[in-house]
Amino acid sequence: MRRYATNKPFRPIAFIGATALYIMLSCEPRTTMVADAEPLIDTVSALVLAKDSISREISFPGELTSFEKAELYAKVPGYVRQVRVDIGDAVRKGEIMAVLDAPEMSAAYAQTNAEMQAARSKYLGSLDAYQRVANAAKVEGTIAGIELERARNQMMADSAALEATKARRTATGQMNEYLQVRAPFNGIITRRNIDPGSFVGTAGNAPMLVVENSSILRLRLPIPEMYTATDTRGMTMSFSVEAYPQEQFQATLSRTSGAIDQLNRTETWEFLIPNNDRRLKPGMYANAKIRLGNSMPTFLVPSTAVVTNQERRFVIRLSNGKSEWVDVTTGISSGNRTEIFGKLNEGDTLVTKGTDEIRPGKLLAATVHNP
Residue 338 binned pLDDT confidence (cut-offs 50, 70, 90): confident
Q: Which of 2-6, 193-197, 214-218, 283-287 has the lowest mean pLDDT?
A: 2-6
Taken in order of first residue, the domains within the chain and their CATH numbers are 46-54+297-368 (2.40.420.20), 60-66+213-293 (2.40.30.170), 103-178 (1.10.287)
Q: Is the pLDDT of residue 144 over 90?
A: no
**Tens digit of each residue's pLDDT (9 = 90 or more) over 88-133:** 999 999 999 999 988 877 777 788 888 888 989 988 988 888 888 8
CA distances from residue 50 to 17, 227, 295, 333, 334 in whole angstroms, order as listed: 78, 21, 16, 16, 16
Q: What is the rounded end-to-end Cα distance, in angstroms, of the chain?
A: 95
The pLDDT assigned to 274 comes to 93
The pLDDT assigned to 38 comes to 55
**Tens digit of each residue's pLDDT (9 = 90 or more) over 5-27:** 444 444 444 444 545 545 444 54
Q: What percent of the chain has pLDDT over 70?
A: 88
CA atoms of 96 and 79, how far apart (whole Å): 16
Cβ distance 78 to 197 under 8 Å? no
Mean pLDDT to the nearest integer, 172-179: 80
The pLDDT assigned to 13 comes to 47
**Tens digit of each residue's pLDDT (9 = 90 or more) over 303-326:** 899 999 888 899 999 988 889 999
The pTM of the full predicted model, rounded to 2 decimals, is: 0.62
Residue 70 binned pLDDT confidence (cut-offs 50, 70, 90): very high
The pLDDT assigned to 35 comes to 43
Residue of higher predicted confidence among 257 and 176 = 257
Mean pLDDT to the nearest integer, 327-354: 86
CA distances from residue 97 to 85, 196, 203, 232 in whole angstroms, order as listed: 6, 12, 21, 42
The pLDDT assigned to 94 comes to 93
Residue of higher predicted confidence among 283 and 331 = 283
What sign results for the dihedral spanned by CA atoms 161, 167, 168, 173?
positive
Q: Is the pLDDT of residue 185 over 70?
A: yes
Average confidence score pLDDT of the chain? 83
Mean pLDDT to the nearest integer, 62-88: 93
- Measured from the Cβ of residue 96, the count of other Cβ atoms closer than 10 Å reads 13
Q: Is the pLDDT of residue 179 over 80?
A: yes
Buried b (16+ CB within 10 A) or exposed e, 293-302: bbeeebbbbb
281: left (phi over 0), alpha (psi -120 to 50) or beta: beta
Residue 147 binned pLDDT confidence (cut-offs 50, 70, 90): confident
Mean pLDDT to the nearest integer, 152-175: 86
* Residue 18 neighbours by CB under 8 Å, 6+ apart: none
**Tens digit of each residue's pLDDT (9 = 90 or more) over 207-236:** 999 999 999 999 999 988 878 878 788 888
The pLDDT assigned to 40 comes to 66
The pLDDT assigned to 3 comes to 44
Q: Which of 201-205, 302-306, 353-357 has the lowest mean pLDDT?
A: 201-205
Q: What percent of the chain has pLDDT over 90?
A: 35
